[in-house]
Amino acid sequence: MSAILPPSERIWWNQPVDKLELTWISIAFVWALVMFGMMIWWHAYGNQNLANETYRTTKEMFAAKAQAVVDKYTVRTETELQVPVVAPPPGSDIYLIARLWAWWPIFELEHGKTYTLHLSAMDYMHGFSLQPQNINIQVHPNYEHVIKITPNARGTYSIVCNEFCGIGHHTMAGRLYVK
């Protein structure tokens, strides 16, 4: 039997497998096992994938938590929309709301300190993309996405929505300051 020609009988699984074909099947199987092992290794040691948690919540509960943080740690307001700039202490929980077509509030974080970032959407699914760090998370309504972040470079970071959320999607950008 040849790998190029069809089997002479219609019941192909009863036919013997050619040595060349068996060699390629074996190589493909071993390569699949290597790649599977690399996915596990890269998740644990590659520092690329976020280990995040997700919880069910309601829009009202999440908005109340976010408002409490804003009320407690606001240092100033910024932009013509009067978005509050919040400077929470290191180690605290910070809440970021996605809604048509804005991120609320703006955070001012300390370099090298760890924060617990909570994300949720108030209306539709949005995409949280922190640039230039390339952190991407889909943010769903009625779900609270929780990740630990430690800013490792000072500067201004852009938060961009990378899931199409309507006609004003292109204007949905926020900021994060690291001092």
Q: Tokens in use for 85? A: 């700039």
**Do residue 27 and residue 78 come from a single domain?**
no
Q: Tokens in use for 17? A: 């497998």
Number of domains in the chain: 2
Q: Which CATH number covers residue 157?
A: 2.60.40.420
Q: Considering 49, 65, 86, which residue would you say is the last residue of a domain?
A: 49
**Do residue 143 and residue 61 come from a single domain?**
yes
Surface-to-core class of residue 91, CB atoms within 10 Å of its CB (0-12 exposed, 13-18 middle, 19+ buried): exposed
**Do residue 112 and residue 126 come from a single domain?**
yes
**Do residue 143 and residue 83 come from a single domain?**
yes
SS3 percent helix, strand, coil of the chain, rounded to 5, is: 25, 35, 35
**Do residue 3 and residue 42 come from a single domain?**
yes
Local confidence band at 114 (pLDDT 50, 70, 90 cut-offs): very high
Q: Considering 33, 49, 65, which residue would you say is the last residue of a domain?
A: 49
Q: Considering 15, 34, 49, which residue would you say is the last residue of a domain?
A: 49
Local confidence band at 13 (pLDDT 50, 70, 90 cut-offs): confident
**Do residue 43 and residue 61 come from a single domain?**
no
- pLDDT per residue over 157-173, tens digit each? 999 999 998 898 888 98
What local confidence, expressed as pLDDT, does residue 67 receive? 96
**Do residue 33 and residue 59 come from a single domain?**
no
- pLDDT per residue over 60-103, tens digit each? 999 999 999 999 999 999 877 789 999 999 999 999 999 988 99
**Do residue 28 and residue 66 come from a single domain?**
no
Range of the domain at 11: 1-49
pTM: 0.73
Whether pLDDT at 1 is above 70: no
Q: Which helix (H) or strand (E) holds 97?
A: strand 93-99
